[in-house]
Amino acid sequence: SNMAEIDAYLSSAIYYVVIPVIILYLIMYRVFGFRKAKLEAFICNLMCGWIHRKFFYREKKLLFEHMKDLRNKSGNNLSVLEIGVGSGMNFQFYPQGTSVTALDPNPHHETYLTKNLEKSKNNNNVQLVGFVRSFAENMLSVENDTYDAVVCTLTMCTVRDPTAVLAEVKRVLKPGGTFFYLEHVAGQRGSFIRCVQNILQHIWPYLSSGCNLNRETWIFLDQSGFSNVVYRHYSINTWLAFFARPCLYGTAVK
């Protein structure tokens, strides 16, 4: 029956994903004395590069191809604001000579980001020109009409107020500027995956820095007031985190 299937999938999710995450948190917190923000940055640096390469590389390559068009149109090196920059997984996709300002509320990401950029050989001479410690809902230190592009990957699931974030993205983009995004999203209403997401949602945000498994991000995009919103729904191939299979990527033009 459907209910038995859901029970089986929930059991495997808890056994293979939820419990290992809790154990890792406890070890790092208790044994190494990592506090929450530092721990989140450590885990992100440890895991996110692999996750992005394994599950999102192809779609990112397709998505960021459009950034080259933007660069050709402007005739200059692009200025990019990346929200929730993590450890810099997207820099390899940016056009030659792009200037990136990173925005993240967690200051510990800056250390990993700087180290990774120093080590990396394939970043197309992309320059990190600033690190803004701020939530995306209220980017007070960022002026209007500043950036050619704003980038946000696997971050809209975690922000507290998607409507406010999209309003801020639109504000800081230059006229004609583009918002690039790639996110895991809610499954279709009434679907098996959505049912599992709704159940796991009761505990998942506490284990994953506030990540929402069942956020219908496309609705916020549709209502954001951008002049041209284009996205594609797709599904990643993972058994382990099957509840995060539904994804979406696309662009929105100011």
The tally of domains found in the chain comes to 1
pTM comes to 0.84
Which helix H or strand E contains 198, and what residues bound it?
A: helix 192-200
Estimate the crossing angle of helix 192-200 against helix 2-13, to 10 degrees: 50
Query: What are the Cα distances from residue 98, in Å, to 76, 95, 124?
Result: 9, 6, 8
CA–CA dist 231, 212 (Å, integer): 20
Residues 3 and 88: their CA atoms lie apart, in Å, by 41
Q: How far is CA 104 from CA 35, 40, 134, 246, in A?
A: 17, 12, 6, 25
Sheet of 127-132, strand order: 127-132, 99-103, 79-83, 147-153, 173-184, 246-253, 228-235
Side-chain-side CA neighbours of residue 183 (13 Å):
30
pLDDT at 13: 56
Written as six digits, the tokens of 70 are 């933007």
Ordered per-residue pLDDT tens for the chain, 254 residues:
555 665 665 566 555 566 666 666 666 555 555 566 676 766 666 667 777 878 899 999 999 999 998 888 877 889 999 999 887 889 999 999 899 999 998 888 788 788 877 777 667 788 899 999 999 999 999 999 999 999 999 999 999 999 999 999 999 999 999 999 999 999 999 999 999 899 989 988 877 778 899 999 999 999 999 999 999 999 998 776 788 899 999 999 99
- Residues shown for the chain: 254
Q: What is the DSSP-derived secondary structure letter of residue 57?
A: H
Q: How far is CA 153 from CA 56, 150, 159, in A?
A: 10, 10, 12
List CB contacts of 112: < 8 A, sequence separation 6 or more. Answer: 41, 44, 45, 87, 88
Cα(73)–Cα(159) distance, rounded to whole angstroms? 31
Report the CATH number at residue 79: 3.40.50.150
* CA 172 to mean position of chain CA atoms: 18
The domain in which residue 174 lies consists of: 2-253
Instruction: Provide DSSP, 97-129.
Output: T-EEEEE-S-THHHHHHHHHHHH-S-STT-EEE
